[in-house]
Amino acid sequence: MTTRRIRRAAVAAALAAGVAACSAPGSGADGGGGSAASVVIGVSTEPDTLSPLLGYGKDGNSKIFDGLLARDADLKLKPALAAALPEVSDGGRTYTYTLREGVKFSDGEPLTARDVVFTYRTVLDDRTNNTAKSELDAVQEVRAAGDDKVVFRLKYPYAAFAARTVLPIVPEHVAGEQDPNTGSFNTEPVGTGPYVLTNWSKGEKLTFKANPHYWGGAPKVKTLTMAIIPDDDVRATRLRSGDLDGAVLPPNLAATFEDDENRRTYEAKTYDFRAVTLPTANEVTGDPAIRRALDAAVDRQAMVDKILDGAGSPAYGPLPGDDPWFTKDIVRPHDLAEAERILDEAGWKPGKDGVRVKDGRRAAFTLLYPSGDKVRQDHALAYASDAKKAGIEVKAESATWEVIEPRMKDDAVLAGFGSVGDPDFGLYTLLHSSLAGDGFNNMARYDNPAVDEALDAGRRGQDPAAREAAYDRLQRELVKDPGYTFLTHIDHLYVLADRWKGLTTQREPHEHGFASGPWWNVEDWQPVS
């Protein structure tokens, strides 16, 4: 965790535009002077569901649920609902967990091995609409051995399996009576976590109270509210007014709190990256020469400097440059001359308007980005500007996700991805051809046999050196055949009232707000005396 002082940005006009905030769930006066027992956090999005059976909280840190294991501040695995780390046998094919004694769900019913078995079997059921089930592909069987032991039998040794068991556990006695896709459990969850959902006003806020049955002890923060505020400027305005105790903010808006003595800015390093999907079905973005030219033309460092105000790093692939799995020598310069050479050799010649043409087709395509997301908008506009210099016309277009999703097959999207931990976690769903077009998995519908082979080898391998070689091959292949233009890795910035101690950050995934951020361990916060 780091707290940082950020350069002041000229955002007065943007802040003024965001003054029209919606009704307040707030907790106190300007500067966050409210009770330390109540916290109101502003986040940009809300989940579609609160059911782990459909993917909610699958990477851990849900405030409502717990997994068999959890991650500490350094992302090391530690016991949660399990009493200890698993016993591994049969050459890495069998994992046995013993449950912690005395754990209860928030309705007072005890946790048993049956609940664990029910959770995993339901997630893996083809009838369950969980697009993350491929992450548990290795599981052949899960069974209870008495009330307190769970045994997983794997199809093949999977080195990263223990980290998959941060998956939240749900109660069979509640969720088992419902259709996992449509049941009320999706909005009325029951879990073992430190908090219980008390109210969900869609599009406005979610409110949680401390779980009286929580096995980890009573949290000092008794009420936690997540205010849903999609617009970055409005979020900053409400934080400044005291309507919020904390918020997720982009760098330029976090900078406006630089001299605020009552608030602190926290920076979290992440696996979160921004990239442009290049759909294979599109006649322009599906051309390998166009993709390679865009990769050379984009000025990644300028995006880090100008858009992120230095709170990030250039992305040369899906893994951040300081990740131990990152292949160091794939770092490549911004090279407009190389982009032009690639296009010339492929037959894309400059047209009268400066846009290249091949066989009567203009090198032009639409790039969609979600409305209200200033950081993605700025990335999209910078990308279009860089592409134009190479003779490629990119039309950046704002839209809601409801509009974007049905167009992802044909139109490029300024997307965000990134999962914590083992490289299998983020790369398989991003790139494997078997998941092409599966919801937000493999959005570019990328299909490269060499990459598939490397992904499978990395997933099934046990030897660390062999796995490292597989992911090295994968990253080199992405340079030769990019299905995405990787732009930046983004640090997450949070501004919070300075009323608590014990705040820290983890290295975070792309998805943040509800589970990640300094509030990942809000149950451990202590008020400043």
Q: Are 367 and 381 in contact (CB under 8 A)?
A: no
Question: Which residues sit opposite 224 in a β-bridge?
Answer: 39, 208
pLDDT in tens, 155-164: 999 989 999 9
* Confidence category of residue 373, pLDDT binned at 50, 70, 90: confident
Dihedral sign, Cα of residue 13, residue 18, residue 19, residue 20: positive
How many DSSP H helices and E strands does the chain contain?
Answer: 14, 25
Fold of 2-46+202-268+494-527: D-Maltodextrin-Binding Protein; domain 2 (3.40.190)
pLDDT of residue 10: 33
Beta carbons within 8 Å of 65's beta carbon, 6+ residues apart: 52, 57, 168, 169, 170, 189, 191, 192, 193
Give the global pTM: 0.85
* Confidence category of residue 7, pLDDT binned at 50, 70, 90: very low
Residues of the chain with CATH 3.40.190.10: 2-46+202-268+494-527
CA distances to 426, 433, 470, 473 from 450, in Å: 17, 11, 10, 8
Residues of the chain with CATH 3.10.105.10: 273-490
Structure tokens at 157: 């040794």
pLDDT in tens, 29-58: 444 445 789 999 999 989 999 999 999 998
Q: Are 366 and 411 in contact (CB under 8 A)?
A: yes
Amino acid of residue 74: D
Average pLDDT across the chain, whole number: 91
Amino acid of residue 396: A
CATH code matching the domain that covers 273-490, chosen among 1.10.10.10, 3.90.280.10, 3.30.1330.60, 3.10.105.10: 3.10.105.10
Q: What is the CATH number of domain 52-186?
A: 3.90.76.10
pLDDT over 70 at 88, yes or no: yes
Residues of the chain with CATH 3.90.76.10: 52-186
